[in-house]
Structure 1
Amino acid sequence: MIRFEHVTKSYADGTTAVDDLTFEVAEGELVTLVGPSGCGKTTTMKMVNRLIEPTAGRILLDGEDISTLDPVRLRRRIGYVIQQVGLFPHKTVLDNTATVPHLLGRPRKQARARAAELLDLVGLDPSTYGDRYPDQLSGGQRQRVGVARALAADPPVLLMDEPFGAVDPVVREHLQNEFLRLQSTLRKTVLFVTHDIEEAVRLGDRIAVYGAGRIEQFDTPAAVLGAPATPYAAAFVGADRGLKRLSVTPVERGDLEQPPVVRLDDPAAQAAARLAADGAAWAVVLDADGALYGWVPAEALTGAAATHPAEPSPQAATVRAHARPMDAHVPLGAPLRQALSTMLQHDAGWIAVQDGDRHLGVLTPARLHTALRRSTTADAANVPRTQVALDTVPGPAVPATADGHVRTPGTVTAPAGTPDDDA
């Protein structure tokens, strides 16, 4: 969709902003351009809509040399979102969003109808926000209007120059989530400029890491973090790139453990016998529909603890009487970062992994760490994760205590995935 062929931009004072760039952005791909200030990433983007003209080389848009196209008509085919948003202060939100369709000759009523659709798409109810003016909106809301306006003419290409850089971190993350949701539906061809490697990793299908006027590495986020191509790229992504990989490494089936699974209405004695046969200290508990309910410790199902006061006999007691609710789960394919965040949020020693409402297994901190190591090794060797065998240095054997916890110096881990006082 967008192709740079030996593109250079130099100025009369001898400064070279970009030097001999050659790369391609596929249709529907989101490519992030990341690097420090002054490295040429914004110049690269502005050459696509001819706000800046290259000194040498050529840029092709869907096979056409853009130097042969009328600049104004070209820009109306390309969505453009900037950090300062650039809304017209004297126009309402609805009229701001309808600007480009109106310039393209659509009737006012049709342009406003399209604007209303897009405001709703970016999470701004047009009946609430359509008649407001930009100064009546928060920074995050103005950015949403900027995105809606850029999409109003349904352009195949979207250029975004640090669009979320002027808002606070909480709003920024929310905007990133919303944009990823939009992109998964719209599949625009996007060039996204940022100086933040974490934003680049989170959003990009591929990342172009810029040095001084040139691309040091152009690859997937996982490859850039796992195998930086140059010392510059390694220094830029940071020594903590292993942690950044959490955002781009998905939870896979091979990462999961399979503890025993029981149902809420299973007889407690039957469940206890199964756990004893498996040598398990706890089991995942599902409801009648197979959805996660929580967990149950083996000790609660055995002996006198298996008799519920409300039941006439121990045989009538069910798992329901002893199960402990827990709602810590993520979908298969979720980033390891989301999985770790969910563990911490629930103070859990494991979380369930689901495919829709279907239980697939559990992810533990140890398995999460293994998945991250396996992903790093796989990318470095350019092989699938399933082909990676890891050498592990075993630690000393530490027996479980009577309460089912494993205690090591300075740590207390509840294998059933609950706070200490619940175990």
Structure 2
Amino acid sequence: MGIRLDGVSKVYDDGTVGVAELDLTFAAGELTVLVGPSGCGKTTTMKMINRIIEPTTGRIVIGDDDVTRADPVELRRRIGYVIQNVGLFPHQTIRANVGTVPRLLGWGKEETRARVDELLATVGLDPAVHGDRYPGQLSGGQRQRAGVARALAADPPVLLMDEPFSAVDPVVRERLQAEFLRLQATVRKTIVFVTHDIEEAVRIGDRIAVMSEGGRVEQFATPAELLGRPANGFVADFVGADRGLKRLAVTGIDAEDLEHPPVLHAEDGLADARAALQRSGARWAVVLDDADHLHGWLSLDRAAGSGTVGAAARRMEAWVPRDASLKAAFATMLQHEAGWVAVLDGDQFLGVLTPESLHSALRRSVEGRVPETAGAASA
């Protein structure tokens, strides 16, 4: 169920423009991020969707319904809402907190309990362990997970999230982002997510709206397009001079990126391997086992004497799955101080990425010829 803003604005009594007339469409099943500096109207825009703040002009359409004409209380029960400081009721157990909206909607006790336990497990909280605890007995990350579960309890088609992970430390925040991407891949809600952090926006967003003072949208685009082709100076400054590096996180590995060095098999003899390397002019080769799984690599100087390739080969630690981002491949290369990184499809060897092919892939990405990763979950 998508969301459409038609000429939506917010002008306060003193004449201050909080949000200019916005025409935006948030696609069904996508996670759209509103990002920008403080005071740019991103939270105001989100709160107008569930009418915590009433728009001055325009229409907000969710699915086929003009919600500017709906009962605001009923509307909010149909929309999940997650805020920065969670907002759990401190005097209620986690199970009672998560079941708040189903109870208001008149669900039965057994139905509500089953749904609550299912969601707690989904967000990584054991209902038998955490269900009867109170918010004060949970860590910040656990409370945030409970807040997400509460927002999803009545299975709303739309989820609004206002800087939900900003109150936790960076390590927990990264874990919550990864868990949330995993969850979104399963539930596919239409999500409007507010943040001031461009790194977070790039990592989790399907599309990003960069907003400036006065509630204007400077650019509305995919993460890769935003980083590769900023619409103007404001966007370029906001995403940062290192936008090329950020772009690595949202660019997937394409078959065109891969190089194909010589391949040897573990059961080959070293004499034959040495001759093959000399004929090819290569100084190293990838070594596979009899099922074409990555075994390691062999340099020309180790292909001396007798014996098998498998016994002389070195273990290959620098590898990534084919659905990894270019950022993950680059990070793996640096971590292992390797000149190349192997790319695997399951256990099958596909090819290698080198610094040169990484650079070429990034250039093609800027030109729009390499597909983006889904969100940036594997970054």
Same fold (TM over 0.5): yes
Q: Does 1:352 align with 2:352?
A: no
Match of 1:285 among 278, 287, 294: 287
Instruction: Kindly indicate whether the alpha-carbon contact (under 8 Å) linking 1:293 and 1:327 is maintained by their aligned counterparts in 2.
Output: no
1:243-290 CA distances to partner (integer Å, 9 max, x unpaired)? 111111111111111111222222222222221221111111222332
CA drift of 1:232 comes to 1.2
What is residue 377 of structure 2 aligned with on the other side? none
Corresponding residue of 2:352: 362
CA gap 1:152/1:385 in 2 versus in 1, 3 angstroms: closer
Aligned to 1:85: 86
2:274 is aligned, of 272, 275, 279, to: 272
1:258 to 242, 248, 260: 260
Mapped to 2, the partners of 1:236 and 1:344 lie a distance apart of 27
Give the fraction of aligned pairs with identical amino acids, expressed as a percent: 63
Match of 1:301 in 2: 303
Tell me the alpha carbon deviations over residues 192-245 of structure 1, each in whole angstroms, 9 at most, x when there is no partner.
000001111111111100011110111111111111112211111111111111
Q: Deviations over 1:352-393 (max 9, x none)?
A: 1112222110111221122112222x14xxxx259xxxxxxx
* Matched AA of 2:342: A
User: RMSD of aligned C-alpha atoms?
Assistant: 1.4
- Bigger Cα Rg: 1
* Alignment correspondent of 2:119: 118
| CA distance in structure 2 between the aligned counterparts of 1:62 and 1:85, rounded to whole angstroms | 27
The answer (yes or no) to whether the contact 2:251–2:370 under 8 Å persists in 1 is no
Tell me the equivalent position of 1:163: 164
Letter in 2 for 1:78: I
Alignment of 1:115-264 (within 5 A): 115-212=116-213, 213-264=215-266
Q: 1:96, 1:344 → 2: CA distance?
A: 45
SS of equivalent residue, structure 2 residue 338 = coil
The question of whether the paired residues in 2 share the 8 Å contact of 1:77 and 1:156 is answered with yes
Alignment partner of 1:178: what SS? helix
Residue type at the aligned position of 1:165: S
Q: Residues of 2 paired with 1:102 and 1:295: CA distance?
A: 60
Q: Give the number of the structure with larger relative contact order, counting CA–CA contacts within 8 Å between residues 6 or more apart.
A: 2
Instruction: Structure 2: give runs of 5+ residues left out of the alignment.
Output: 372-379
Aligned: 1:63 with 2:64: yes
Aligned to 2:375: none
Q: Distance in 1 between matches of 2:89 and 2:278?
A: 70
Where do 4+ consecutive residues of structure 1 move more than 6 Å?
none
The answer as to whether partners of 1:253 and 1:332 remain within 8 angstroms in 2 is no
Whole-angstrom CA distance in 2 between matches of 1:29 and 1:282? 44
Normalising by the residue count of structure 1, what TM-score does the alignment of the two structures yield?
0.85
- Count of aligned residue pairs for this structure pair: 369
TM-score by length of 2: 0.94
Moved more, 318-327 or 205-214: 318-327
Give the counterpart letter for 1:158 in structure 2: L
Matches of 1:178 and 1:290, distance apart in 2:
33
